[in-house]
Amino acid sequence: MINSLSGRFLILTTVFVMLAEVLIFVPSVARYREDFLLNRLERAQIASLALLADDMIDSELEEELLLNAGVFNVVLRRDEVRQLVLSSPMPGEVDATYDLREATALSLIRDAMHRLITPEPEMIRVIGNPFRDGGLLIEITLETSELRAAMVDYGLRILVLSAVISIVTAGLLFLAVRVLLVKPIKGVVGHMQSYAKAPEDARRIIKPTASVTELREAEEALQSLQTQLTQALKQKERLAQLGGAVARVSHDLRNILTSAQLFTDRIEMSEDPAVKRMAPKLVNSITRAVSLCESTLAFGRAEEPAPVLTLVNLAQIVVDVLDSERLAIGDFDLSLSEDVPGSLMVRADPEQMHRVLSNLVRNARQAIVGSGQPGEINISARAGDDVWCIDVTDTGPGLPPKAKEYLFQPFQGGARKGGSGLGLAIAEELVRGHGGTLTLLSSDATGTKFRIQLPMGELTLRK
C-alpha cells in the first residue's frame, strides 16, 4: 500500500495539507488573541461608561462591572485627561504592556506564540483605541490565564478541523488518483504483460482508450512500438524461412555448378579462337558462383566469411566486372567506363571486392535499363592520404525515397520495383569487413554516386 503510487500520493497529500493548515494556524491564533483583547477593551469601555453616567456607583457594583469585563482596572482618556475609571486590587505587578494601536502582524504573531508557550499566568496591560470614538485611549489590566486557556481551546479546534479537512481531501484525491491514474496505468501494464506472452499475435497490440492526454500519448507510443515489433518478428520469421530455402537451393546449385566446372575443362581445350577467348571468363564466372553458393551455405551458421586481405590490382577487378556487365546489357544504349590507374594496388579480398563492385554496377545497370533512357556507368579510383577511394557513378533516375530511408537494410526497400535491397546490404557488409565504409554521396534525377573507402594502414591496437 505504502509503496504504491496511490498510497504515496495519499501520504504526501495529507502531509502537504497539514503543512498548509499549520501555516494558517499561526496567524489564526494571533488573530484570535487580538480579538480576545479587543473584546476585553470593549467590555471595559462599556463598564466605564456606566460609571460615568452615574458617579454614585458603590464598590460592590464597581467590582461586578470589572468582573463582567474580565479586567482588574480601566483607564480612560477623554479630553486629554487620563482617568482611572474602574479599579480593583491586583494580585501582582504588571509583567508586560501591549499596545494594540500600533501592533503589526509580525508582532501579533510573536506575542501570540509567546503566550501559548508560557503556561505561567502573568499580569499584562493592554492599550487600545476606544470604540465608537468614546475617548482618546483606553487601557486595561488583566491576567493571562483565561486568555491562554481560550487560545489553547481555539487552537485545538483549529487542529482538529485541519485534520478532518486533510483526511477528507486526501481520501478524495486518493480515489481520484486511483480512477484517473492508477487504474489506467495498471491497464497498460496488463496489456504489456499480455503482449509479452505472444508478441507475434497482432490481437494483443494495445488500443489507446485513456482520456488523460499524457496516458493516451503513452498508449499511442506503446501501440506504435508493439506494431513495429510485431512486424519485425514476422519479417524475421520470413527471413529465417527464406534463409532455409536459399540454403537448400544453394546446396543443389553448388552441385550443378560443380558439374559445369567439369565441362568447362573440356571447353578450354577447344581450338576455336572465340571459345578460347570466352572460356576463361566462363570458368571465372562459374568459380565465383560456386564460391557464392558455399558462402550462402555458411551464412546460416555465421556472418559473411572474413576477407583474406592481399594487395590486388584494382584495375583488373574493375575490367572483369565491366566485361561481365556488358554481356548483360546487350543492345541497350548504356556505356560502361572506368578511370582506374593500371598500377593501383589495394589491400582487399579479390573475390569479395568483385562482388561489391558487381552489386553496385548491376544495381545501376538495372535502374537505367528500367528507366528506358540511355545512360552511363563509371568506376573511378584514386589513392588518398590514408585511404583508397573507389567511386561508382551512374546517370540513372536516382534512388527512390524508400531505398534512401532503408539504405543498406535487406528486404526494406529495393532500388527498383520488385527489388529486395540485398545487393546494397551485401556490398556494405563486405566493405565493412575490410574495415572500410560504403556511403551514398548523392542520388537525384541526374544520377547516383556511391563511394567505397578502404583503409591503407594496418589496424594497430594500443597496449
Alpha carbons within 13 angstroms on the beta-carbon side of residue 221 total: 6
Residues 215 and 153 occupy one common structural domain: no
**What per-residue confidence (pLDDT) applies to 190?**
86
CA dist., res. 264 & res. 289, Å (int)? 14
Is 175 a domain residue? no
Instruction: Report residue 128: phi and psi, to 5°.
Output: -155, 180
Reference 347, options 452, 204, 197, 268; nearest CA is 452
More confident residue, 72 or 417: 72
Which pTM does this prediction carry?
0.43
Question: Do residue 413 and residue 327 come from a single domain?
Answer: yes
Tell me, what's the pLDDT at 272? 72
Same domain, 15 and 95: yes
Dihedral angle over CA of 439, 443, 446, 449, nearest 10: 10
pLDDT band, very low/low/confident/very high, at 266 (cuts 50, 70, 90): low
Residue 55's pLDDT is 57
Q: How many CB atoms lie within 10 A of CB 287?
A: 14
Percent of the chain with pLDDT over 70: 76
What pLDDT, on the 0 to 100 scale, is given for residue 215?
81
Outline where DSSP puts E strands in 67-164.
Answer: 73-78, 81-87, 96-99, 123-128, 137-143
Least confident of 230-239, 241-250, 377-386: 241-250
pLDDT at 196 over 70: yes
Q: Which of 220-234, 240-254, 267-281, 396-410 has the lowest mean pLDDT?
A: 240-254
- Whether residues 237 and 328 share a domain: the answer is no
Rounded Cα gap, residues 321 and 325, in angstroms: 6
The whole-number pLDDT of residue 293 equals: 63
DSSP reduced 3-state for 204: helix
Give the number of domains in the chain: 3
pLDDT the model gives residue 461: 38
Do 353 and 452 meet the contact criterion of CB atoms below 8 Å apart?
no
86 part of a folded domain: yes
Instruction: Determine the 3-state secondary structure of 395 from DSSP.
Output: coil
Question: Is the predicted pLDDT of residue 244 greater than 50, yes or no?
Answer: yes
Q: Same structural domain for residues 233 and 320? A: no
Q: Is the pLDDT of residue 170 over 70?
A: yes
Do 210 and 347 lie in one domain? The reply is no
In a domain, 182, yes or no: no
Question: According to the model, what pLDDT value does residue 205 have?
Answer: 84
CA 420/CA 398 separation, integer angstroms: 17
pLDDT of residue 452: 96
Amino acid in position 65: L
Confidence band of 21 (pLDDT split at 50, 70, 90) = confident
The answer to whether residue 291 is domain-embedded is: no
Q: Return d(Cα 362, Cα 321) in angstroms, integer.
A: 9
Q: Which residue has the cell 591503407?
A: 456
Tell me which DSSP letter residue 231 carries.
H
Q: Is the pLDDT of residue 305 over 70?
A: no
> CATH number, domain at 433?
3.30.565.10
Q: Quick one: 237 and 382 in the same domain?
A: no
Residue 253 lies in a domain: no
Strands lying side by side in the sheet with 437-444? 334-339, 375-383, 387-394, 447-455, 437-444
| Listed range (37-41, 88-92, 251-255, 396-400) with the worst mean pLDDT | 251-255
| Tens-place pLDDT, residues 393-426 | 999 998 888 888 878 776 555 555 444 566 788 8
CA 340/CA 325 separation, integer angstroms: 17
pLDDT of residue 463: 36
The answer to the question of residue 462 being in a domain is: no
Q: Which residue has the cell 485627561?
A: 81
Residues 243 and 341 in one domain: no
Ramachandran bin of 103, using left for φ above 0, alpha for ψ from -120 to 50, beta for the remaining angles:
beta
Q: For 288-299, how does the pLDDT look when each residue is reduced to its tens digit (9 = 90+)?
A: 776 666 665 555
Which are the contacts of 147, defined by CB distance < 8 A and separation ≥ 6? 33, 36, 37, 115
Query: For position 262, what pLDDT does the model report?
Result: 57
Model confidence at 284: pLDDT above 90: no
Looking at the domain assignment, is residue 178 inside a domain?
no
Same-domain status, 234 and 367 = no
Residue range(s) defining the domain that contains residue 336: 305-455
What dihedral angle (degrees, nearest 10) is formed by the CA atoms of 410, 411, 413, 414? 80
Residues 50-74, mean pLDDT to the nearest whole number: 70
The residue among 454, 411, 176, 413 whose CA lies nearest residue 311 is 454
Same domain, 337 and 449: yes
User: What's residue 27's pLDDT?
Assistant: 87
Is 270 a domain residue? no
Q: Are residues 451 and 311 in the same domain?
A: yes
Residues 211, 153 within the same domain: no
What is the DSSP track for 263-329?
HHHHHTT---HHHHHHHHHHHHHHHHHHHHHHHHHHHTTSSSPPP--EEEEHHHHHHHHHHHHHHHH
Of 141, 128, 134, 170, which is closest to residue 9 (Cα–Cα)? 170
